[in-house]
Amino acid sequence: MVRTVEIDKQTWRFEEDGVRFFLLMGTERALLVDSGMQTRNAKELAEALTDLPLSLLNTHADPDHIGSNGEFDEFYMNPAECVNFYGKQQRNGKILPVWDRDVIDLGDRPLRVIALPGHTPGSIAVLDETNRRLFSGDPVQDGRIFMFGACREMHAYIHSLHRLESMAGLFDEIYPSHGSCPVSPSLIPQLVTAEEEILAGKAEGTPENVFGQPITAYDMGVATFLCDRKGGENA
């Protein structure tokens, strides 16, 4: 069951169990940011709210973000995510490449793509410049951040967070795909501190099993990081 929530007249969020995706509208076009997990009719849900031509952008290719991609002939994605989308997830579809600093203009609503490698190689955020909002995907949130497995790299993740810190004057609110929504930009430096403590071996973790894989969970107060069992370093 998907719950539809109005952020403003041109912006909506779709709340699925444990994950959310977004609809952004300009004067000429509309854009879905991600397409859900179990949801298979995200396009239909969006088209019930707008008559504008609709496109899809994926923040990354983890399965909880690409559930309705099959509704679209093509979709925006960072090509660094091909290893995840075509390889790990074994999915099909035509990727329209978007690169760091690219701008998708919906008509009086420019959206800037920000590359945020670490959670996955091609993770991106979307900066809504007009409304000073950042749609962050998974890297910036206060929930459970997956950082275990071959497609994750914590050093790259910290570099991405530092980059967002330097851009924090460009947005007032952050809309993540998981956890609380919205969150403050002040969350970013807190995540940096937490991650650095994990990498330095200063954090105490708890063994867990996620999807049949043994991992270590670090509840850092600000968020919980799910890492490889050996600790902060990733394979």
- DSSP string covering 128-184: ETTTTEEEEESSS-SSEEEE-STT--HHHHHHHHHHHHHTGGG-SEEEESSSSSSB-
pLDDT at 200: 96
Burial of 122 (0-12, 13-18, 19+ CB in 10 A): buried
By three-state DSSP, how is residue 62 classified?
A: coil
Give me the phi and psi of 158, to 5 degrees please.
Answer: -65, -40
Cα distances from 211 to residues 61, 80, 157, 229, in angstroms, run 17, 24, 22, 14
Chain center to CA of 15: 14
pLDDT at 58: 99
Half-sphere exposure of 81 (CA within 13 A, CB side): 33
pLDDT at 231: 46
Half-sphere exposure of 44 (CA within 13 A, CB side): 7
Please choose, from the candidates 186, 171, 160, the residue with its C-alpha nearest in 3D space to the C-alpha of residue 129: 171
pLDDT at 233: 43
Distance between the two ends of the chain, CA-based, in angstroms? 36
d(CA 184, CA 134): 10
CA dihedral 54, 22, 85, 199 (to 10 degrees): 150
Average pLDDT per 10 consecutive residues for the chain, totaling 235 residues? 97 97 98 98 98 98 98 98 97 98 98 98 98 98 96 96 97 98 98 97 96 96 94 41
Superfamily of domain 3-144+153-200: Ribonuclease Z/Hydroxyacylglutathione hydrolase-like (3.60.15.10)
By three-state DSSP, how is residue 13 classified?
A: strand
pLDDT at 73: 97
Domain boundaries, the chain: 3-144+153-200
pLDDT at 232: 44
